Amino acid sequence: MAHFEKANSLNEWFDQRLGVNTLQRVLAKEYWIPKDINFLWAMGMVLAITFGILLISGIFLLMYYQPNVDLAFDSVNYTIMQEVGFGWLWRHVHAVAASVVFLIIYIHMFTGIYYGSYKKGRELIWISGMLLFVAFSAEAFSGYMLPWGQMSYWAGMVITNLFSAGSLELNGVVEWIRGDYVPAQAFLTRFFMLHVLLIPVAIMALIGFHFGALRLPHVNNQNGTDIDFEEEAAKYKSGNKAASKVIAFANDFMSKDMFVVAVYLVFFFYLVFWNYAFAMDPVNFDPADGLVTPAHIYPEWYFLWSYEILRPFSKDIGLIAFAFAQVIFVMLPFLDRSPNTVPANRRGLFKFWFWAMLVDMIVLTAMGKLPPAGIFSTIGLVAALVFIGLWLVLPIITKLEKKL
Amino acid sequence: MNQTRRGFMGKAFGAVAGVGAVGALYAMKRSWDPLPSVKAAGFTTIDVSSCAENKLVVEKWRGKPIFVLRKTAEMVAAQDEAQNARDIIVEGAHFMIAIGLCTHLGCIPAYREDKTDFKCACHGGEFDSSGINTVLPPEKPLLIPPFKVTGSTVVLGEEGEVYKKMKESGLIA
Amino acid sequence: MKEFFILAVVAFFSLVTYWLVEPFAHGQMHAHVESEHFAYADLPALEKKGDATKGADTFMAGGCIGCHNVKALGMETGMSAKDAAAAYGVNPPDLSNAGAIYDAKFLADLIKNPAHATAVEHKFNDARFHPMPAFYGAGGDDIDQEIADIVAYLQSIAVKPEEVTPEMAFKDACGRCHAVRYTKWTQLGEMPNFKHKKDELRFQADVLDYQDAVKGYMGKLPPDLSMYIRSRSEHFLKTFIENPQSQLHGTAMPRTGVTAESAEKVIEYLEFAGDPKAEMRNEVGKNVMIFMIFFVLFAYLWKRQVWKDLH
């Protein structure tokens, strides 16, 4: 056993046993962040806070929710929304946060793409981030099943049918996933388990991975400057904070993060109280009915772009295109052949690639919601082809890029 | 000076965030309150006219067992002042109505018709036919639920005149 | 400043996406129906002035109370709602407050030609008659005058229009076909609290019998309206109540002919059933926003202090 001196303070007592001072130094006081950053660097904190909000509101929903096909709808819409004190608040907060979290994820992602934050030593940050995106998607989808409304039921029907793998007609797989011929009790209970236990645990583990992957390569900066962190840290510690190119995670970076978080929360609560329909689809306020499909059926907005890649093609090609869209973003660090870690506007053709990808995904998103007819179908098909084409040319145009 | 000022702003921000946390805690506290439907279901109407003498009837009110015992004339005649005070008179008949949970640790005592008393199997406590504790460990008589007598029925959960008087005289702890 | 420019770019793309998937897409999915403000312009205007006293006699002579209760005046057919539904398809409405809840023009046309007033002529023909027989006059020379008298009579016995409560309007105009389980409303009235399971099951069996009759009459069971205030927009509800055919062509649902005020009351009732916390949401929201102003302000002050010696 190690030798322990008598502690002179509570802080010292804990430090002897847990190394709290070391932890604080490594994770906060001497965790160096570049000074040359903008508010987009706070999106990680915004996401962490939003996840916290989802967790807390979810805990309160969990106490009254009934995962039973006969009771689920009323336990949400009557018990929670009308009877439980502030139950309506938890539900609105949970639903809106679940939707807004994707907006922030997309902003976070495109920030990473724009500034090249996935390159040279930061591949694992990107990959763990994309795994988080997949986990959040699964979490969002499983949560969407729980109110057991019309959209829950039919989304459950359509998405599980994807696993029949087109002409392979693996109906046994679909039935295995559902535990029934259609989404029913077994399906609801297992997706309930996934939503409140397995996926949240996976998300928390992945968040740890994501943070861990960030510590050694350090955070990127907004001008692609190569920073010698040790030298700059020495400057900072010697008191020359103004000349140093780095700042400490706490309180320097933290104080800016919290300001961004505060502004974000204004926007968030505005949506929670007054503009929530985008996150709580009216159709899902009709109870699930296995004999009536709603007139218009579409996924939540954050899945629309990948849904639209599936839609304009024939069954098998659509599924292949869809699978392509799901995994291709993970490959970004390896498909981008350029050695430059600088913002996209200084990167030759990639500058155009970035904006083309962003606009194309917005077009796909819009077409995914619109009824698949006439001009919208054509635009959707073109946008899907452009999406695939953009990924195919990415290695070529980045290979051509000059080293800066 | 700069150092203290910065420390102050950080604390001030922390205090504001704390106010928000208190607000959230209030909402959380409210979420754990009994639901309105639970509270609304807190009324039980019992028609006591069909109760037989010296036969214990057990009803349910707010999830708890309620003892209803119609006393015989001999039982009433043998009662002392304290026992009489706890009787609830419905259309001339004397009743004991009480929450059927031992005031020791909440077990349900059993009624013994031959001895006209209650015995709790858990720790041996006993109560007489008026619900007054006679053998330790219970140190208090069985609790009388809020009630209101209307004709031949008793509504539990509502405070009637008789109940209020009992409460004033300290019969209901 | 650069950060504001970046914020503007982010906001621009977010808002464009929002506009495309919400207002624009929903505009494409649902045809916009203009409200006629419950004018019932397709129905003939009332030309005659009714006389309530004469109307009372015509009302009796016309045989209305053979099928309709007028409980306010103690007139009852003696038929239970369940039996009435079995006989006619749906329980005929009690006419106590019809004069206050329904539009006068609508009532007049309804008496003359029920399928026309309720806009369900596609459902009824020579082989299938509307359960309410048309009124062919009670012996007088002028049928329109007689109808005007009946309408005047119905208005005279009803409560004043401003006394119509949300509950009255809903139960009269909608509640004989639609249940609202969140207010415990069934087509047979409010579900009582039963002490014995047997009584509850009996009541539920009666409701099921009634629903079967309505199902036979309407083609399918009219939906429970508990959450309609959230599942349909208020604009949809209003225009739908005004004329179901405008939103759902060929629907079996009859036009109810409620006045604009009664329609408001019906929507108020649906709000009470499906979204009773709307007002509280607004109140709490305002307080949260006031708090957020301080939160942002202090977060900014803190940031400014911390960053003072970083620049």
CB contact under 8 A, C306 and B9: yes
Which band of pLDDT confidence, cut at 50, 70 and 90, is reported for residue B3?
low
Task: Decide: C248 and A53 in contact? Cβ < 8 Å.
Answer: no
Note whether C25 and A369 are within 8 A (CB). yes
Q: Is the pLDDT of residue C269 over 90?
A: yes
Nearest to B31 among A84, A251, A258 (CB): A84
* Cα–Cα distance measured from residue A138 to residue A54, given in angstroms and rounded to the nearest whole number: 15
- Give mean pLDDT, residues A172-180: 92
Angle at which helix A171-178 crosses helix A150-161, to 10 degrees, equals: 140
Q: How far is CA B41 from the centre of its chain?
A: 15
User: What is the model's pLDDT at position B5?
Assistant: 57
Mutation choice for B interface testing from A83, A93, A259, A273 by most B CBs within 10 A: A83
Identify all chain B residues contacting A90, using CB atoms and an 8 Å cutoff.
Answer: 27, 31
Angle between helices B2-31 and C278-307 (to 10 degrees): 160
Chain A contact set for B24 (CB, 8 A): 56
Length of chain C: 311
Alpha carbon distance C270, C183 (integer Å): 10
Sign (positive or negative) of CA dihedral A21, A22, A27, A30 = positive
| Whole-number pLDDT of residue C77 | 86
Cβ of B2 within 8 Å of Cβ of C309? The answer is yes
Q: Which residues of C touch A285 (CB under 8 A)?
A: 227-228, 230-231, 274
Which residue from B minimizes the CA distance to C305? B6
pLDDT band at residue B6 using 50, 70 and 90 as cut-offs: low
Chain A contact for C276, CB < 8 A?
Answer: yes
Contacts by C19-22, CB closer than 8 A, 24 or more apart = C20/A362, C20/A365, C20/A366, C20/A369, C21/A278, C21/A301, C21/A304, C21/A365, C21/A366, C21/A369, C22/A277, C22/A278
CB-based contacts of C84, cutoff 8 Å, min separation 6:
C67, C77, C90, C91, C92
The answer to whether A85 contacts B10, with C-beta atoms less than 8 Å apart, is no
Q: Lay out the sheet containing B133-135: strands in order across.
A: B110-112, B117-119, B126-128, B133-135
CB C280 to CB A358 under 8 A? Answer: no
C11 touches A at CB < 8 Å = no
Our CA-based measurement puts residue B11 at a distance from the nearest CA of chain C, in whole angstroms, of: 9
Element (H, E) at B70: strand B64-70
Tell how strand B56-61 and strand B44-47 pair up.
unpaired
| pLDDT, average across residues A73-91 | 96
- Round to whole Å and give the CA distance between A164 and A174: 6
What is the CA angle A92-A95-A99, rounded to 5? Answer: 135
Closest Cα partner for A287 from A148, A391, A182? A148
Q: Percentage of chain A surpassing pLDDT 70?
A: 100
Considering only A170-179, A185-194, B82-91, C35-44, which range has the smallest mean pLDDT?
A: B82-91
Amino acid code (one letter) for C166: P
**pLDDT tens profile B98-153:** 888 888 888 888 888 888 888 888 888 888 888 888 888 888 888 888 888 888 88
Report whether C270 contacts C229 (CB < 8 A).
yes
Lookup: tokens for C50: 């009714």
What DSSP character marks residue A296?
A: S
Minimum mean pLDDT range among A61-75, C82-96, C128-142, C175-189 = C128-142
For the cut 80, the answer to whether the pLDDT of residue C141 exceeds it is no
pLDDT surpassing 70 at residue A399: yes
pLDDT band at B48 (very low <50, low <70, confident <90, very high): confident
C15 pLDDT more than 70: yes
What does the DSSP 8-state code read for residue A170?
-
Q: Show Cβ contacts of residue B132 under 8 Å, excluding neighbours closer than 6 positions.
A: B82, B83, B86, B141, B142
ipTM value greater than 0.90: yes
Residue C99 per-residue DSSP state: H
**Torsion of the alpha carbons at A93, A96, A98 and A104, rounded to the nearest 10:** -120
Q: Of A102, A177, A106, give the one whose Cα is nearest residue A139.
A: A102
Chain C residues whose CB is inside 8 A of the B13 CB are 298-299, 301-302
Q: How far apart are CA A384 and CA C218, in angstroms?
A: 45
pLDDT of residue B54: 82
DSSP for residue A121:
T
Tokens of A332: 């970004």
Q: How much is the mean pLDDT over chain C?
A: 91
Q: Does B39 touch chain C (CB under 8 A)?
A: no
Query: What pLDDT does residue C180 have?
Result: 96
What value, to the nearest 5°, has the Cα angle with vertex A236 and ends A212 and C295? 70
C-alpha C245 chain-centroid distance:
14
Least CB–CB distance from A84: residue in B13, B24, B35: B35
Sequence-separated (6 or more) residues with CB below 8 Å from residue A105: A47, A132, A133, A136, A302
DSSP 8-state class, residue A215: H
Pick from B127, B162, B155: nearest CA to B142: B127
Asked whether the predicted pLDDT for residue A401 surpasses 80, the reply is yes
Which partners does chain B have (≥3 C-beta pairs < 8 Å)? A, C
Res. C59: pLDDT tops 70: yes
Q: Which residue out of A36, A256, A261 would a mutagenesis test of the C interface target, given it has the greatest number of C Cβ atoms within 10 Å?
A: A256
The stretch A47-54 carries a mean pLDDT of 97
The residue whose two tokens read 């390569």 is: A217
| Spatial CA neighbour of A97 closest among A141, A52, A42 | A52
Among C227, C285, C296, beta carbon nearest to A273: C285
**Cα–Cα distances in Å, from A370 out to A140, A144, A308, C68?**
21, 20, 10, 48
Distance from the Cα of residue A241 to its chain's centroid? 34
Q: What confidence score (pLDDT) does residue B113 get?
A: 81
- Cβ within 8 Å, pair A369-C20: yes
Rounded (10°) CA dihedral B77, B82, B85, B88: -60
Please classify residue C304 by burial: count the beta carbons closer than 10 Å to its beta carbon, then call 0-12 exposed, 13-18 middle and 19+ buried. Answer: middle
State the pLDDT at residue B155: 84
Min distance A190 CA to chain C CA atoms (Å): 26
The whole-number pLDDT of residue B132 equals 84
> Which chain C residues are within 8 Å of A380, Cβ to Cβ?
none
Q: Answer positive or negative: Cα dihedral of B33, B37, B40, B41.
A: negative
For chain A, domains (ranges, CATH) are 1-28 (no CATH), 31-297 (1.20.810.10), 304-404 (no CATH)
Strand pairing report for A32-34 and A246-248: antiparallel
Q: How far apart are CA C26 and CA C22, in angstroms?
A: 6
Helical ranges in B47-111 per DSSP H? 73-77, 81-85
With CB atoms and an 8 Å threshold, state whether C302 touches B20: no
Averaged pLDDT for residues B57-86: 83
Q: How many angstroms separate the CA of residue C251 from the nearest CA in chain B?
A: 37
> C142 exposed, middle or buried (CB, 10 Å; 0-12, 13-18, 19+)?
exposed
Beta-carbon separation of A255 and C28 below 8 A: no
**A283 → closest Cβ in C2, C231, C310:** C231
Give CA torsion, residues A30, A34, A39, A45, to 10 deg.
-30
pLDDT value of position C134:
85
List b or e across B7-19, with b for residues whose CB sees 16 or more CB atoms inside 10 angstroms: eebbebbeebbee
**Beta bridge partner(s), residue B61:** B64
pLDDT band at C233; cut points 50, 70, 90: confident
Select from C182, C281, C302 the Cβ nearest to the Cβ of A273. Answer: C281
Q: Is B5 on the interface with C (CB under 8 A)?
A: yes
A278, A282, A371: residue with CB nearest C231: A282
How many Å lie between the alpha carbon of B147 and the closest alpha carbon of chain C? 18
**Are the beta carbons of A83 and B35 separated by less than 8 Å?**
yes
CA distance B47 to B69: 12
**Residue-averaged pLDDT of chain A:** 93
SS3 category, C14: helix
DSSP A219: -
**Chain position carrying tokens 């239970």:** C80
DSSP state of C45: P
Coil, helix or strand at residue A372: coil
Nearest chain C alpha carbon to A235: C310
Residue C264 pLDDT grade (very low, low, confident, very high; cuts 50, 70, 90) = very high
Contacts of B10 in chain C (CB under 8 A): 302, 305-306
Alpha carbon distance B136, B122 (integer Å): 12
Q: Which of B9, B45, B47 to mutate to test the interface with C (most CBs of C within 10 A)?
A: B9
User: Could you give the dihedral angle defined by the CA atoms of residues C39, C40, C41 and C42, in that order, rounded to the nearest 10 degrees?
Assistant: 180
| Per-residue pLDDT reduced to its tens digit, B20-45 | 999 999 999 999 999 988 887 778 88
The pLDDT value given to residue B85: 79
- Are the beta carbons of A96 and A272 closer than 8 angstroms? yes
Supply the pLDDT for residue A1. 63
Question: Residue B31 and residue A86: Cβ atoms within 8 Å?
Answer: yes
Is the confidence at residue B1, as pLDDT, over 50? Answer: no
Contact yes or no for A62/A196 (Cβ under 8 A): yes
Overall residue count recorded for chain A in this entry: 404
Query: What mean pLDDT do residues A341-365 have?
Result: 95
Segment holding B60, helix H or strand E: strand B56-61
With CB atoms and an 8 Å threshold, state whether C28 touches A258: no
Chain C residue with minimum CA distance to B45: C195
Q: How far apart are the first and last CA of chain B?
A: 61
**Helix (H, G, I), strand (E, B), or coil: what is residue B95?**
strand
